[in-house]
Amino acid sequence: MSPKTKRGLSKMVLLGVLGVSVGIVIAILALTVLPSPLLPGRSGGYEPTIKVTGGKLAPLELTDKYGKKFTLDQVKGKPVLIYFGYTNCPDVCPLVLQKFKKTIEALGRDADKIAFIFVSVDPWRDTPETMREYVDRYFDPRIIALTGTEEQIAKVILDYKVPVFYTDERGNPVDPAKLPPGSRYFANHFTWVLGADRNHQLILALTPEMLDKEYIDASRYLISR
Degrees to nearest 5, angle at CA 99 with 88 and 223: 125
The reported pLDDT for the residue numbered 1 is 52
pLDDT single digits (tens) 65-115:
999 999 999 999 999 999 999 999 999 999 999 999 999 999 999 999 999
SS3 134: helix
Sign of CA dihedral 73, 79, 85, 88: negative
Is residue 151 classed exposed, middle or buried when 0-12, 13-18 and 19+ CB atoms within 10 A define those classes? middle
**pLDDT over threshold 90, residue 31:** no
pLDDT digits (tens, 9 = 90+) for 138-147: 999 999 999 9
Residues paired with 194 in a beta bridge: 82, 205
CATH code for the domain defined by 3-224: 3.40.30.10
pLDDT tens track for 167-217: 999 999 999 999 999 999 999 999 999 999 999 999 999 999 999 999 999
Residue 26 has what pLDDT?
A: 37
H/E stretch holding 11: helix 3-15
b/e per residue 194-217 (b: at least 16 CB within 10 A) = bbbbbebebbbbbebebeeebbbb
Residue type, 107: L
Which band of pLDDT confidence, cut at 50, 70 and 90, is reported for residue 44?
Answer: low
What does pTM read for this prediction? 0.83
